[in-house]
Amino acid sequence: MARLHQGSVFGIPELTAEQREKTRKVLEWLETDLVRRRKRLAYWAMRKHQAETIPGIDEDLREGAFYFHARAQQLVDSGERLRAHLITELQEQPEHLPAYHYEH
């Protein structure tokens, strides 16, 4: 017979109401910050495209466009990872858990 396990699959600890509220506020701030980060990434993607296609651009400007595009991409990626973690942390709280699941 299989053992039944109640609790988070990801090993996320149960949060208090105060901790949940703080996590929700951080998630709310992160959502607005991700909008800003995506706009910045779109700008640097445009500048990178210009650096690739327009002939005669100074090499320093070309390298700067590639660098800042890569940096903007890193910021968006890190924000997305943090957002995914926070959402998982909130969803894995007891009121969101299924009744049970099988333990591996």
Cβ atoms of 1 and 97 within 8 Å: the answer is no
Query: What contacts 7, CB < 8 A, 6 or more positions away?
Result: 97
Q: What Å distances lie between residue 53 and 50, 62, 65, CA to CA?
A: 5, 10, 12
Pairing of the two strands 4-5 and 101-102? antiparallel
Cβ atoms of 24 and 90 within 8 Å: the answer is yes
Q: What is the pLDDT of residues 9-21, one digit of tens each?
A: 556 667 777 887 8
Cβ atoms of 4 and 102 within 8 Å: the answer is yes
Q: What is the pLDDT of residues 39-80, one digit of tens each?
A: 999 999 999 999 999 999 999 999 999 999 999 999 999 999
